[in-house]
Structure 1
Amino acid sequence: MLAFDDLDVRTAYDVWRLRQEVFVVEQECAYPDLDGRDTELATRHVVGLRDGAVAGYLRVLDDGPVARVGRVVLARSARGQGLADQLMTVALEVVGERTSVLDAQAPLAGWYGGFGYAVDGPEVLEDGIPHLPMVRRSPSG
């Protein structure tokens, strides 16, 4: 897990390229991926490498009373190999005892459920893709 200033230039470039390849090109979602949140002091970047290359990524944001997990992405070549599980495990270490939220692509809600997340609202369309708001509550309430 890295703060923005801890990302070396090549890794940052590769992360943004991966997000573009999957979200903008593969999923055909034209949206402002570089939203200014990557550079926030509290944001933590979780980068998954395979053979020295960026193959997966997610970020954990500080949304005040909750942490927000987002931009969960895997290269096509890395899917189905357990890397996403590793990324989420690290994300939950970053989150710690805080309540955390995420917006899951609807077909992945069950997978996120395996990490303690529960659907917390109605399905919405984001860039034409069904998403479900999910929450993982702090053990203390």
Structure 2
Amino acid sequence: MILDWHFKTFDELSTEELYQMLRLRTEVFVVEQRCCFLDMDNKDQLCHHLLGYRNGVLVAVSRIVPPGISYVHPSIGRIVVSASARGIGAGVELLNVSIEKLERLYGKAEIRIGAQLYLKRFYESFGFMQSSGPYLEDEIDHIEMTRRAGYKAD
């Protein structure tokens, strides 16, 4: 493993962990991507959070969203890797560990994500298939993608 992983419910997050998670999401989604949006959408409180640390610094996060919150099926959202951890496999590890944690919680369920269109190939490499037409969210092209229940890589 490249990163040290912590997996917690919202209530288990310390105030420092919560602050660092929200800071990282803001650094990437708001500042880097120049996107003015309210990241705190009242879903975090219902989710499990995956936090990836490198040398004690938070560099990767995702949230596991229960079924019925964003989609009928469970979802992985707010998938983000800091600029400092890109190109070393942290994103691949983040998605692999996210899928593993989701399946521990919900079994080999169908997984739905809302993906930025430019990351389509990345998500396809994990078995996700485009399941909607493109749509604009916060001035960035997105698509919904679905990974079938029980997917196994070839």
Q: The TM-score by the shorter chain falls in which range?
A: over 0.9
Q: Which of these residues, 29, 35, 50, is aligned with residue 46 of structure 1?
A: 50
Q: Distance in 1 between matches of 2:112 and 2:148?
A: 8
Moved over 6 A (4+): none
Which residue is 2:62 aligned to?
58
* 2:3 alignment partner in structure 1: none
- Return the match for 1:67 from 57, 71, 74: 74
**1:9 shift after superposition:** 1.5
| Structure 2 residue 20 is matched with structure 1 residue 14 | yes
What is the CA-CA distance between 1:100 and the residue it aligns to? Answer: 0.7
Q: SS at 1:20's partner residue? A: helix
TM-superposed CA distance for 1:94, in Å, is 2.2
Per the alignment, in what secondary structure is the counterpart of residue 60 of structure 2? Answer: strand
Deviation (angstroms), 1:88: 0.9
Q: Helix, strand or coil for the counterpart of 1:122?
A: coil
Matched residue, 1:122: 133
From 78, 89, 109, the counterpart of 1:82: 89
Instruction: Give, in whole Å, the separation in 2 of the partners of 1:94 and 1:51.
Output: 22
Structure 2: tracts of 5 or more residues without a match: 1-6
**Deviation at 1:116?**
0.9
Query: With structure 2 as the length reference, what TM-score do the two structures score?
Result: 0.85
Identity of aligned residues (%): 36
CA distance in 1, matches of 2:75, 2:122: 17
1:99 aligns with 2:110: yes
Question: Structure 1 stretch 15-24 or stretch 4-13: which is displaced more?
Answer: 4-13
- Gaps of at least 5 residues in structure 1 are none
Q: Write the distance in 2 (CA, Å) between the matches of 1:99 and 1:58.
A: 17
- C-alpha offsets along residues 21-74 of structure 1, whole Å, 9 cap, x if unaligned? 11111111111111111111xx11011111101001111101334111111111
Q: Give distance in 2, aligned partners of 1:63 and 1:34.
A: 19
**Aligned AA for 2:136?**
L
Deviation at residue 133 of structure 1 after TM alignment: 0.7
